[in-house]
Amino acid sequence: MKVFIAGLGLIGGSLSLALKDRGLADEILGMEIGRERAAEALELGLADRIVSFEEGVEEADLTVLATPVDTIPLMAVKALNRVREPQVVIDLGSTKGELCEVIEQHANRGRFVAVHPMWGTEYSGPRAAVHGAFAGRTTVICEREKCDEDALYTIEELFRALETPLIYMGAEEHDLHTAYVSHISHITSFALANTVLEKEREDRHIFDLAGGGFESTVRLAKSSSTTWVPILLQNKYNVLDVLREHIHQLQLMRRMIERDDKEGLGEMIDRANSIQRIIH
């Protein structure tokens, strides 16, 4: 199988490595913005050749869109304009609502499978790509009922070969859930990092005292704005909804601390501990 990956950063590059490691691709064509990143992707073995978007879509059996989410809808339309059976197009973005709405009425809609591997790190660019990224991590497929049977089967078999469990959702359901389990985590980390950076202007020793808890909490604050600004704006209404609840919980804790409410604080923390049932 010949695969074309548009965007050879963390997610696209890691998929390239996974396909090569598993022997699932005979040749990987790549597209990157800028000569430096393209050369880097070639040097790291993330692509066998760098090609234009049009060349990649026309040559490949499978086209993978792994660019920032605000660029994916238009790229998806351009790809679907060129593909013919049995070619398949997928994306790896973490928002699906706008994308699925844009391609809804396209004549080749059935050749598209909306995919989101639930994996990532705080790093970006070709050098962020790692081996074994997706194994054991859930992959979401959205709107499977709108995919051609053979296109869906191809992608299901591909991700099963990568040892990633599959679940199925609608686009709106997906975006709601990712706002709660992924997007709010990044917002919280960005906000906490900025809070501490503001305080550090007054107290130069604050980072000398930072321990493992602080490091793990703000780890996501190292994530790229190029990736995350489009995600937060594309999933704006779900993000605002979860932010309202998050701010409400912070305000509850603030009031309890102000009132020396030992019992209330204990109950909130004990309730929070129950997350262990979900995350082991």
Of 138-142, 223-227, 238-242, 272-276, the poorest mean pLDDT is in: 272-276
Q: Which amino acid is at 114?
A: A
Residues 190, 95 share a domain? no
Domain boundary among 138, 169, 200: 169
Cα 135 from Cα 159, distance rounded (Å): 9
- Residues 10, 71, single domain; the answer is yes
In eight-state DSSP terms, residue 260 is T
Q: What is the DSSP letter of 94?
A: S
Residues 46 and 13 sit within 8 Å (Cβ to Cβ): yes
User: Is residue 202 over pLDDT 80?
Assistant: no
Q: Tell me the per-residue pLDDT of 2-45, one tens digit each, with 9 for 90 and over.
A: 999 999 999 999 999 999 999 999 999 999 988 999 999 999 99
Which pairing describes strands 2-6 and 62-65: parallel, antiparallel, or unpaired? parallel
| Whether residue 108 is found in the same domain as residue 190 | no
Identify the pLDDT of residue 253.
97
Do 130 and 205 lie in a common domain? no
Looking at residue 163, what is its pLDDT?
Answer: 97
One domain, residues 190 and 126: no
3-class DSSP state for residue 50? strand
- Domain end residue (candidates: 146, 169, 192): 169
Mark whether 184 and 153 lie in a shared domain. no
Instruction: Please tell me the total count of domains within the chain.
Output: 2
Q: Which domain holds residue 256?
A: 174-277
Is residue 104 scored above 80 in pLDDT?
Answer: yes
